[in-house]
Structure 1
């Protein structure tokens, strides 16, 4: 069977930012929760994979904001898988208000890793047999290696972060939303106070764990665009690569 997940959320104060808009980490947590519920319906939830020695890992994610919902507003998060390949499964998201107005959409790429070896493996047969819903137009596929991954990068800002216990998920590594919160907290104060995020594009490169020290780096690519890295300072390995785009809304 094919399953489409639809969840309704009424925005609470702690899910909104200083301007009363739904925060990006809160929105991504909504999306992750809906994806988890959808995966359970398909029999490929976290517990289903764990029983067979596997875990999910997010590899690519791109979110486009069209209109920010605000405190006390009710929204719908809709998600479903779109394509299943040998190593990757693709998943789209759509966020609407109660009238059906599109507020945001996102597309993502997921892989499966071996819990024992902590490395990527081909999708197990019970996942490859999944039937995505038909009759839906998927968002364009994300590039496995976007240009901001290979372009020269010279950081102009950097901030150290120590991974705390509450950033760890059931797969025993840092939850993907925690990285986004660290990245956004390192953005220039003026940008945070005068602009709102309209797009975030993410490449997750490797996992990190409780007690690790990471470095969040950023640089301006254009007046409204920034590129970001989260690295392991000791090894120099990239943990997360990202690009954010902003639009001015406050003076």
Structure 2
């Protein structure tokens, strides 16, 4: 069986930012919900994996914003798997306006971990056997190690975060969208008030959990791009690396 998931969302007030645009965390939550529904249709949802002692973990995610929908707009989110490998499954997303205009797209890479050992495992056979939908035009595969992962990182600012209960998901670790919200909150006021996100590219390196202490750092790369890093305190390790690109608000 093959499935393309299509969900319709009408943007509510609490899903917008201060300018009335759909917020990036809200959009990522829409995407995550559609991915969850698609996984359930394939028989590989969170509960399907949990029964076998596994869980999903997002490893890579790149979101590109072409045009922001606003409060009251109705959008469609489409998602489907594109490639299935030994250790990773790739998934694309498209966000469409009512007239079919592509508002945003995203590429992602997911892995499976053992809930007992909290370590990555090869994709189980019941996942590797799934068939991607025919006739799709997949976006280019995300590199597992993007170029910015090896860039010199000299932070100019750092914020401390203690992981709260509402940042934890059913896999008992921080939800991937929570990290993005923390990245946004670390950016300076002028950038947030005069620019809008054009692209964000994320590398999720390891888990973090309830009550963990995290350090959210940023380092300007160019006038229009920022490098981000999140570190855990105990033990000290990289939790997330990212690059965000910005453009003048329309």
What's the TM-score once normalised by structure 2's chain length?
Answer: 0.99
Cα distance in 1 between the residues matched to 2:183 and 2:212:
16
Cα distance in 2 between the residues matched to 1:249 and 1:123:
41
Cα distance in 2 between the residues matched to 1:116 and 1:20:
43
The answer to whether the 8 Å contact 2:58/2:176 transfers is yes
Cα distance in 2 between the residues matched to 1:71 and 1:215:
33
Cα distance in 2 between the residues matched to 1:112 and 1:248:
38
CA offset digits 1:217-244 (Å, max 9, x no partner): 0010000000000001343311000000
In the TM superposition, residue 134 of structure 1 has moved relative to its aligned partner by 1.3
Task: Spell out structure 1 runs of 4+ moving beyond 3 A.
Answer: none
Cα distance in 1 between the residues matched to 2:175 and 2:233:
19
CA offset digits 1:102-145 (Å, max 9, x no partner): 00000000000000000000000000000000111110111111
For structure 2, the 5+ residue unaligned runs are none
Corresponding position: 1:215 with 2:215:
yes
Cα distance in 1 between the residues matched to 2:34 and 2:145:
27
In the TM superposition, residue 174 of structure 1 has moved relative to its aligned partner by 0.2
Q: Find the residue that maps to 1:222 and give its secondary structure.
A: coil
Residue of structure 2 equivalent to 1:176: 176
RMSD: 0.7
Q: Find the residue that maps to 2:99 and give its secondary structure.
A: coil
For structure 1, the 5+ residue unaligned runs are none
Cα distance in 2 between the residues matched to 1:109 and 1:249:
29
Cα distance in 2 between the residues matched to 1:71 and 1:47:
33
The answer to whether the 8 Å contact 2:212/2:233 transfers is no
Cα distance in 1 between the residues matched to 2:93 and 2:215:
30
Cα distance in 2 between the residues matched to 1:103 and 1:52:
37
Residue of structure 2 equivalent to 1:102: 102
Corresponding position: 1:27 with 2:10:
no
Cα distance in 1 between the residues matched to 2:157 and 2:144:
26
What's the TM-score once normalised by structure 1's chain length?
Answer: 0.99
Residue of structure 1 equivalent to 2:59: 59
In the TM superposition, residue 248 of structure 1 has moved relative to its aligned partner by 1.3
Residue of structure 2 equivalent to 1:119: 119
Residue of structure 1 equivalent to 2:160: 160
CA offset digits 1:196-237 (Å, max 9, x no partner): 000000000000000000000001000000000000134331
Cα distance in 1 between the residues matched to 2:89 and 2:233:
31
Corresponding position: 1:15 with 2:7:
no
